[in-house]
Amino acid sequence: MKSIAITLPDGSKRTFEGSITAQQVAAGIGRRLEEAAVAAKLNGTVIDLTKTLESDCELAIITRDSKEGLEVIRHSTAHLLAQAIKELFPTAQITIGPVIEDGFFYDIDCPKQLTQEDLPTIEKKMAEIAGKKLDVHRQEIERNEAIKLFKGMNEHYKAELIEGLPQGEVVSAYKQGDFIDLCRGPHVPNTSRLGKFKLLSVAGAYWRGDEKNKMLQRIYGTAFSSQKELDEHLHRLEEAKRRDHRKLGPELELFSFLPIAPAMPFYLPKGAWLFNKLVDFMREQTSKLGFEEVICPQMMTTDLWVTSGHMEHYKENMFLFEQEEGHAMGLKPMNCPGHASLFKAGKRSYRELPLRFSEYTKLHRNERGGVTHGIMRTRAFSQDDGHIFCTEDQIQDEATKGIKHTFSVYSAFGFENVDVKLATRPEQFLGSPELWDKAEKALADSLKAANTTFEIVPNEGAFYGPKIEFHIKDAIGRSWQCGTIQLDFSLPRRFELEYTDNQNQSQTPVMIHRAILGSVERFMGILVEHHAGHLPLWIAPVQAVLINVTDAQLDYAQTLLETLKSWGIRAGLDSRNEKLGYRIRDAQLKRIPLMIVLGEKEKTAQTISVRKTTGETTNDLTIEGFRKFLEPELKPGGTHH
């Protein structure tokens, strides 16, 4: 009998006589590990616990509390959902059910139009099936046999997927009880190993994402390894609903959407002020780094978009128009081709480099209706866009300055928790491996020079160059990718950009794409949700409201209002014939940071009483004392809420 040597993650080795499963290895290490195991990793590939190991290998046990373990649990729970659907609605057909961020979904063709009210019934059936502690078995079936099997089960969508595979291909399926589903796996070995789950919503989805195909029903759900983790996630979801910018935006009179311009926001005065404040703040910030603002046309001929590659790779997302002369024009979806054209318009010398352009004009992308989302993803938006044209030797210095600056901007808006990732060369790339190695090292060195902790994400760079990504975390732990620093070797070559070096030789510059906020609209939405509408004082569209207790204080209130306005404070006066409590509550609902309540005592003493939306009060401030009270909070990064 052949012995098998298994190397564990800590470097230790265990020898077994004959074949053995990953689950048996886990049991041999310890009972707790075996109970927590949901899958394994064989020589770096995730496998089922029940897979037989037949030769020397490296093995790691994947437990339910790990990221990979959670994916296995969620994938297996998606199958549990499909099984429950088949038991409740036998004529339903199941299609695909992948793991997504924070959960999973399954698309089904069901004879019954499902609603939110149906989800508890489906959940109950799922729990009932899981409680039977069914073993989960992997089967491998030849392509033609698999087609016959699934057609015989009235699963024509599954059969269609298999028909797309080459002849002779072997497919895998998983069986639990009487239910069988097409899947690569891996899965938990028994339904008793599933975690705690919750079905969240029902939506529509076209088969294979194609609008020409049948509309299916998509059930979203989530699963965690414990009830505590599930409860915490559900609480975050409720908090996210409360903070939803699509609800708060209209309530706070920031923006609205009208049918005359689908997925393009209309900004009300307060929203327009906030948008302009964000842009003006970034103008001021980027000018310190040597950026010069340019303005390129909104619409340019398709010759430009052919050169840039957009007509080949991005045409369906562009708004294109035919002109009478036969020339086609396209609304710009991004600024880089225009900036490259500006660089090319003049003769450039190494003495001008780095040359930095910034721009904030509107961009337009023909996003599908199903993916637009409030002001987070729109068809018309602006970016705090910047492009740096530089030499290879200047990359590190430019990137280091950009990294430090990005952190300072996020901090000003109250984002202190930022994850940084360095995405490296993908399998398909432009340029030489040596150039990529140099570029990746320059970005890594710049991150180290900026004392930044970062994660390397292998093979995730763009085809034209590596990139640094900045992921900000909001108040309820959600991660948003906003800022990027991207190196581009492709566009300068496509546009035949040149500069003359100190030897009077023509060279091609490197192009660095950089943004900190990303989409200004999207960042505004993130900002509103992060602060639950309670924007920091320095960036609140209305900073203070004066509330007089009776008409006897009206003159004092109006005089004080003019004083505040002369200081540059964005203040208003609420002297409506309503009860004091009602007006205070109204100001709180509008998320106005400061309420200045003026009674007879304040009028007589010529003082101010300030109430924050948190309920905290500061009484008996003199006018000058109030000015000093405000000063630190009126600067970016100020904390008054």
- The first and second tokens of residue 179, run together, are 């239910």
Sign of CA dihedral 266, 267, 268, 271: positive
Is 383 marked active-site? yes
Whole-number Å distance between alpha carbons of 333 and 12: 54
Beta partners for residue 573, in sequence order: 546
Amino acid 296 reads: C
- From 109, 118, 385, 474, active-site residue: 385
Is 379 marked active-site? no
- From 336, 583, 611, 640, active-site residue: 336
- The first and second tokens of residue 556, run together, are 């004092």
Beta partners for residue 266, in sequence order: 256
Is 513 marked active-site? yes
Amino acid 590 reads: K
Selection from 334, 350, 285, 264 nearest residue 513 by Cα: 334
Is 385 marked active-site? yes
- From 217, 285, 383, 486, active-site residue: 383
Sign of CA dihedral 400, 406, 407, 412: positive
What count of residues does the chain have?
641
Whole-number Å distance between alpha carbons of 420 and 553: 53
Is 530 marked active-site? no
- From 86, 198, 405, 467, active-site residue: 467
Peptide bond into 90 cis (omega under 30): no
- For residue 88, the SS3 value is helix
Whole-number Å distance between alpha carbons of 381 and 365: 9
Q: In what helix (H) or strand (E) does residue 291 lie, and over which residues does it extend?
A: none
Amino acid 32 reads: R
464 and 334 Cβ atoms separated by less than 8 Å: no
Is 245 marked active-site? no
Is 336 marked active-site? yes
- From 365, 401, 591, 611, active-site residue: 365
Whole-number Å distance between alpha carbons of 310 and 337: 9
- From 513, 514, 591, 611, active-site residue: 513
Q: Would you put residue 220 in left (φ > 0), alpha (ψ -120 to 50) or beta?
A: beta
Q: Catalytic residue numbers?
A: 336, 365, 383, 385, 387, 467, 513
